[in-house]
A and B are shown apart, each in its own frame.
Chain A
């Protein structure tokens, strides 16, 4: 059970009921479509170690219940999330209209720096589409979200969605925009990176002490 990784990211999967949040997670973890799916009560979990830009990252994914009524409960799970998949169903305008509420919750409760990717799921049901790609991508731009249309059924863009989100977080760490050591960043160092980090950090503190003398 001991895995080595450079970083651990806490991810959320949020969005209205029946948009396919659990199926996206299942497709990402198991590489197949979850046929007999239950609805999530409260929260369920998944985790997977992925390779992004030469780093190993463990994704700890919190898959939340979608019903509006549960929001007071699921809100408490937002704290300390580094990334989120915000999911709507391209065949249901209602789930698209609810996006603003989910987005506000994520930005205020998780962290203003949370990296969010908008996922228009059920891409395979194009004949029943109620939300066009264009308007959703415009919404994503206006709200500074990444955007993909996904299909938990075929697996199209599912892995890409999670990886894109992880990649963006990593690049923000590299550029210094995100500080993994800040409380509630949703990012933790894994064993692998701790070993590398401890060495230089010890020397810098020593240097400081010398300077102070």
Chain B
């Protein structure tokens, strides 16, 4: 993808290249108008004096020499571009080969090596992406394909029973709540990547997405279906087979940050936002002050970014690259990416008022240069006064707990 945009940009910027390509093959042939200077004057005019003819010959030779130099330079530039292009193509190809032949078979020993981490940052080739994600996310929950099938069968049973109004005297509120969750899944599937036209009713992945979300509500009835999940499941489906997508989905949601958000544990979410603000102030003090002044709190833009792991807010190929490193670095990278986005658009944002910032951040530009974004993410330091993300988060969590205990004691006294 990146390669294509690069070559596409080089094309129209150099409109004379095809003609020069032809000329190059003939060693060097001057343009016809350039050589007119050598011709004799028409018969009805006095002939050129020898001196003038000599001067013209000299001028012509200079012109030729200059043109030759220019052409040589351009030819070298073109050659370099072609080489770069081939190198990039080759690097994608060799990267896929390296991942397939060297890294994946020796995953446990290699996955933390410097070389693999560097390769990982550059983006995982799409052909191995799903496999790498699966390995990196792991399967702490020990979910098997059989378990997925059991959960799916249970979900299907439920769909059947709710389709026909039951006469059983169940807890009315409970059953209607469950039903609405199933209804909501259906509604949201049609509103998940609608522009791709593959998850909508009648599309090739409608059933798959429906199955995974339904199976999950049976696997974790305590969590159930929460908006945002359909985007995560959809991205996994695009990269993995159904059962493996389910395994990755359930394990991904089981991570502490995702659990906090999908259970909508508001207190814990606020702790995450507070930790984010520590690094925000550290990295972008000017923008941080501007946000504070305008009462733009991080929840306004972070909720969508974290819930959908950027799959709704960034272009899909760029979101996948964020997922790559998220799988490598964990939750910290989600917040680092947020700071990267803010850093990339710092100048634009500083000139905006509340409503324009809020609109901008909840609806990012359609075209975001991937390399530039990743440069900005790389420039974000995830240490604050020698403390790392996890330490800052832990301190804030403990403060909150002791604060709650304190206020509880106050209330008692």
Q: Which A residues have a C-beta under 8 Å from some C-beta of B?
A: 1, 17-18, 35-39, 41-47, 60, 65, 67, 69-70, 72-73, 76, 94
Contact = CB atoms under 8 A, between A and B. Distances in A.
Contacts of B307: 41-42
A73 B356 CA distance: 21
Contacts of B194: 35-38
Given A1-B356, A70-B264, A39 B303 contact: no
A38 B352 contact: no
B228 A41 contact: yes
Interface stretch (B11-19, B121-129, B357-365): B357-365
19 contacts: A1-B352, A1-B353, A1-B356, A17-B188, A18-B184, A37-B191, A38-B194, A41-B307, A42-B362, A43-B303, A43-B362, A45-B355, A45-B358, A47-B359, A60-B354, A67-B226, A67-B227, A69-B226, A73-B266
Contacts of A69: 224, 226-227, 264
Nearest to B188: A39
Nearest to B262: A69
Contacts of A45: 355, 358-359, 362
B88 interface: no
Identify the interface centre among B187, B303, B308: most chain A CB within 10 Å of its CB: B303
B227 A39 contact: yes
B172 to A, nearest CB: 12
A1 B358 CA distance: 15
Given A17-B184, A42-B304, A73 B191 contact: no
Identify the interface centre among A37, A45, A70, A72: most chain B CB within 10 Å of its CB: A45
B190 to A, nearest CB: 9
B74 interface: no
The 4 closest A-B CB pairs, nearest first, are A42-B303, A36-B194, A41-B304, A45-B358
Contact of A44 (B184, B188, B269, B362): B362
Nearest to B312: A38
A39 B363 CA distance: 13
B195 interface: yes
A73 B359 contact: no
A41 B312 contact: yes
Contacts of A46: 359
A1 B359 CA distance: 13
Interface in B238-293: 264, 266, 269
A72 B264 contact: yes
A44 B313 CA distance: 12
